[in-house]
């Protein structure tokens, strides 16, 4: 995948996809309809990013460790929607040379869903274009704790590189986008986002478009990223 020479590139974009439920309620629909609409936007944004010369990784916050607190029926619907999405979109991943790499602790999911996640991961492993990561049963605190436990028993000093390599996601984030109007990270990629640029938009996720994403990336490219220096 050829990359451009732009010095300020959004190599790794991470998105907190917020506002599905509110979008549905504003339209007089059940919350699940918002999740269905949001899944279509995931496809559109992923396809768009796969055609970019700059973007190497797209990480989407799909289901957090805290989302289990939602009503049981909504959680069950989200699990079914996720499985359907993955089965339906395998062909899209392959057609766009997208490698699927989930992050998070998927052991909490049903055996059927775990099998589907692994199948899509395996069948796209050869793709060398965009990497799409869905954060599934993901929380940054949980990720860091699991990474720390992997390093138990090591007798020397644990380095930043060692901890980073033990995380689910080893790549630093360049640009975090949150839709839906709230301005917080909600336990998402806290280690990886140490020097990420943050963009917040009031647009609800089902209304988020590739045009909106292009506008944010354009603004991102104008920023002077100093990483603590001058």
**In a domain? residue 146:** yes
Instruction: Determine contact, residues 101/12, Cβ cutoff 8 Å.
Output: no
Query: Any idea which residues carry the catalytic annotation?
Result: 18, 67
**In a domain? residue 6:** no
pLDDT of residue 229: 59
Instruction: Determine contact, residues 102/166, Cβ cutoff 8 Å.
Output: no
Pairing of strands 57-64, 175-178: unpaired
**In a domain? residue 192:** no
pTM, full prediction? 0.93
Which residue reads 């916050």 in tokens? 61
Distance CA 221, CA 224 (A): 8
Which tokens belong to 190? 């806290």
pLDDT of residue 140: 98
**In a domain? residue 177:** yes
**In a domain? residue 227:** no
- Please report, for the domain that includes residue 88, its CATH number: 3.40.1180.10
Instruction: Determine contact, residues 131/103, Cβ cutoff 8 Å.
Output: no
pLDDT of residue 8: 82
Instruction: Determine contact, residues 13/23, Cβ cutoff 8 Å.
Output: no
pLDDT of residue 195: 93
Instruction: Determine contact, residues 135/63, Cβ cutoff 8 Å.
Output: yes
Total domain count for the chain?
Answer: 1
Distance CA 190, CA 164 (A): 12
Distance CA 50, CA 8 (A): 18
pLDDT per residue as tens, the chain (230 positions): 444 444 689 999 999 999 999 999 999 999 999 999 999 999 999 999 999 999 999 999 999 999 999 999 999 999 999 999 999 999 999 999 999 999 999 999 999 999 999 999 999 999 999 999 999 999 999 999 999 999 998 888 999 999 999 999 999 999 999 999 999 999 999 999 999 999 999 999 999 999 999 999 999 998 877 666 55
**In a domain? residue 4:** no
**In a domain? residue 142:** yes
**In a domain? residue 226:** no
Range of the domain at 60: 12-183+198-221
Calculate Rg over the CA atoms of the chain: 18
pLDDT of residue 3: 41
pLDDT of residue 228: 64
Instruction: Determine contact, residues 37/110, Cβ cutoff 8 Å.
Output: no
pLDDT of residue 2: 40
């Amino acid at each position: 995948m050829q990359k451009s020479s732009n010095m300020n590139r959004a190599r790794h974009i991470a998105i907190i996809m917020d506002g599905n439920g509110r979008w549905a309620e504003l339209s007089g629909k059940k919350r699940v309809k918002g999740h269905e609409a949001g899944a279509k936007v995931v496809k559109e944004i992923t396809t768009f990013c796969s055609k970019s010369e700059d973007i190497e990784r797209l990480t989407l916050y799909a289901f957090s460790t805290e989302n289990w607190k939602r009503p049981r029926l909504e959680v069950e619907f989200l699990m079914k929607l996720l499985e359907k999405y993955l089965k339906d979109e395998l062909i899209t991943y392959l057609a766009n040379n997208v490698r699927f790499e989930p992050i998070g602790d998927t052991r909490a999911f049903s055996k059927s869903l775990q099998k589907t996640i692994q199948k899509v991961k395996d069948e796209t492993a050869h793709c060398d274009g965009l990497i799409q990561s869905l954060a599934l049963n993901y929380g940054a605190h949980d990720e860091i704790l699991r990474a720390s436990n992997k390093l138990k028993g090591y007798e020397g000093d644990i380095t930043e590189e060692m901890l980073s390599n033990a995380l689910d996601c080893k790549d630093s984030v360049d640009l975090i986008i949150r839709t839906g109007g709230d301005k917080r990270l909600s336990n998402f990629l806290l280690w990886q986002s140490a020097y990420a640029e943050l963009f917040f938009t009031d647009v609800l996720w089902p209304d988020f478009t590739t045009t909106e994403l292009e506008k944010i990336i354009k603004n991102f490219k104008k920023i002077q990223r100093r990483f603590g220096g001058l």
